[in-house]
Amino acid sequence: MSDIKKEKEELVEMFGVHFESHHNLSPLGSRILATLILDGCKNGLTFEDLTERMGASKSSISTNLNLLLKTGKINYYTVAGDRKKYFKPSPFSERLDNYLKIIAYEKQIIDKMIIYRQKTMSNVEEQVNFINIRAYKDHIAEIETLFLKTIDKFKEIEKIREIEKNKITNINPA
C-alpha cells in the first residue's frame, strides 16, 4: 500500500471518529463525509463510487447520504444528459451557518434561563449559577461574532473560486 493511500485511510478514520463523537453521525455516515471531504471536493463522487469505496449496501449508503443531505453536511449537483448525482461536501460557509443555528437556539435557552434564575434566586449557589450563565452568554456572543467573521471569509473565498471557475469555463467551453 502506498504511503499516500495509507495516509488517506488514516485521515478518513480520524475524520470518521471525529464526526461520530462530535456530530452524532453513524460510523458509515462519518466515513462517507470524510471520503467526500478528501476525494469529492473537486468533482464530487457518485452513489456508485461511494458504494464501491465504502463496501456497504446500497440501502445503507442511501440512508446515510439522505441524512447528510438533510443536515446540510453535503449537497449534490447533476450534469445535463447524465442521470447521476455527484455528491460533494457542503461549502465551509454553509457548514458554519449550521453552527450559527445551534448558537441562536442556545442563546434563546440562555436568555430564558437568565429570566428564570432572576425570578427564582434564593441562595448563594443560585447567585453563582446566575453569574456563570451571564458569563456563558458573553462567551456565546463572542463565538457568534467569530463565526460570522469566518463565514464572511469563507464566502469571499468561495466567491473568488466561482469567478475563477467561470473564467475557465468561458475560455474552454465544453
Mean pLDDT on 66-71: 95
Task: Report residue 112: phi and psi, to 5°.
Answer: -65, -40
pLDDT of residue 98: 81
Instruction: Return the percentage of the chain with pLDDT > 70, whole number.
Output: 97
For residue 114, give the nearest of 88, 140, 92 by alpha carbon: 140
Tens digit of pLDDT for each residue in 156-167?
Answer: 998 998 888 788
- pLDDT(91) > 70: yes
Could you tell me if 86 and 48 are in contact, meaning their C-beta atoms sit under 8 angstroms apart? Answer: no
pLDDT of residue 169: 66
Tens digit of pLDDT for each residue in 125-153?
Answer: 999 999 999 999 999 999 999 999 999 99
Residues 6 or more apart in contact with residue 26 via CB below 8 angstroms: 20, 64, 67
Beta strand ranges found along 20-107 (DSSP E): 74-79, 82-89
Tens digit of pLDDT for each residue in 4-55?
Answer: 999 999 999 999 999 999 989 999 999 999 999 999 888 999 999 999 999 9
**Distance spanning both ends of the chain, measured CA to CA:** 37
Tell me the pTM.
0.76
- pLDDT(174) > 70: no
Residues 6 or more apart in contact with residue 51 via CB below 8 angstroms: 57, 58, 61
- pLDDT(116) > 80: yes
Could you tell me if 110 and 116 are in contact, meaning their C-beta atoms sit under 8 angstroms apart? Answer: no
pLDDT of residue 173: 56
pLDDT of residue 172: 60
